[in-house]
Amino acid sequence: MSRGTCLGFQMLHILANNGRPDTIVPAESYNQSLSLQWTYDINDDSKTAKLFSLLPRDERLRVQEYFQNVNSTDNWHHFGVYPEEYEQYPSLKSFFRILATSTNYNDRKNKPFVALVEAHKYPIYGAQFHPERLPYEWYESSDLPKTFENIRAQQYFVSFFVDQARRLNSHAFQSDAELNMFNIHNYPVTFAARYVPEEDQGYYFFYDHDFPPFTSGKEAHKPKVGHRLMAISQAIAKLNVTAEILQMQ
């Protein structure tokens, strides 16, 4: 199972389009809460989207109406994919189905961009918006509605992805001791909002011989550019798994 959010969503499209970086084009929607315009009938029982397969039909209808009528998705991107690119590049259309689009309300052209997709054949999903951010956002500058209804709606996506990982992943640690060795809580959490705007906390992985440890005082726990690059490079390495899956088509 693989899922991509924001930059990961864009990377999935590049990989599905034979590695073409020009698959991604300017599509500004930064710090905006947008609704979803459905392009696929998620309530049609004969062709139910896999992404909503855990929901009974009446619940799917409520989800559809909520996202369609409420500016609820959290968008932080400068680039994206437009539906017409699916017509321009047959490899995209043959691999992904578009479930929904969104429209930047500051875009004078009123041009929708692709917001939500799933692969036709494989358990691969993509969201240009951030369903995971809502419970942890508290910025007054954000227009994201922090209502109970929105938190519940957004967390469905997160719950679905975790459920898919459980169902489709046959890997397991051999013992609790081995699990504890790789537990994410072995690593310190860096609260980065004071140094990197729009970031609350994150894990930064780096090698001691490449980057000096954090020191006490004013610079304590301040994430360096090198640390972020290391985290990004590790994320890109993981995308190789997705690339191998895409090559199966």
Domains parsed from the chain with CATH numbers: 1-171 (3.40.50.880), 174-249 (no CATH)
Q: State yes or no: pLDDT of 138 exceeds 80.
A: no
The pLDDT, as a whole number, for residue 61 is: 86
Least confident of 46-55, 80-89, 150-159: 46-55
**pLDDT of 173 over the 80 cut:** yes
Mean pLDDT of 28-57: 84
Cα 155 to chain centroid distance, Å, stands at 12
CA distance 197 to 21: 27
Whether 126 shows a pLDDT value over 80: the answer reads yes
pLDDT, position 195: 66
User: Which is more confidently placed, 182 or 197?
Assistant: 182
Report DSSP letters for the chain, one per residue.
-EEEETHHHHHHHHHHTTT-GGG-EEEEEEEEEE--EESS-TT-GGG--GGGTTS-HHHHHHHHHHHHHS--EEEEEEEE--THHHHH-HHHHHHEEEEEEEE-TT-TT--EEEEEEEESSSSEEEESS-TTSGGG---TT------HHHHHHHHHHHHHHHHHHHHH-----SSHHHHHHH-GGGS--EE-TTTSTT--EE-----TTTSPPP-SSTTTTPPPHHHHHHHHHHHHHHHHHHHHHHTT-
Bridge partners, 73 (sequence order) = 34
Tell me, what's the pLDDT at 46? Answer: 65
The predicted pLDDT at position 204 comes to 57
Asked if pLDDT for residue 213 goes beyond 50, the answer is no
More reliable by pLDDT, 26 or 188: 26
User: What average pLDDT does range 1-20 have in this prediction?
Assistant: 90
Of 97, 116, 91, the closest CA to residue 247 belongs to: 91
User: Does residue 101 have a pLDDT over 70?
Assistant: yes
Write down the pTM of the prediction: 0.76
Largest separation between any pair of C-alpha atoms in the chain: 62
Answer yes or no: are the C-beta atoms of 77 and 32 closer than 8 Å. Answer: no
Q: 212 or 182, which is more confident?
A: 182
Average pLDDT over residues 188-211: 59
Return the structure tokens found at 111.
Answer: 């041009």
| Tokens encoding 246 | 């895409």
- The more confidently predicted of residues 220 and 143 is 143
Q: How far apart are CA 4 and CA 12, in angstroms?
A: 7
Residue 177 has pLDDT above 70, yes or no: yes
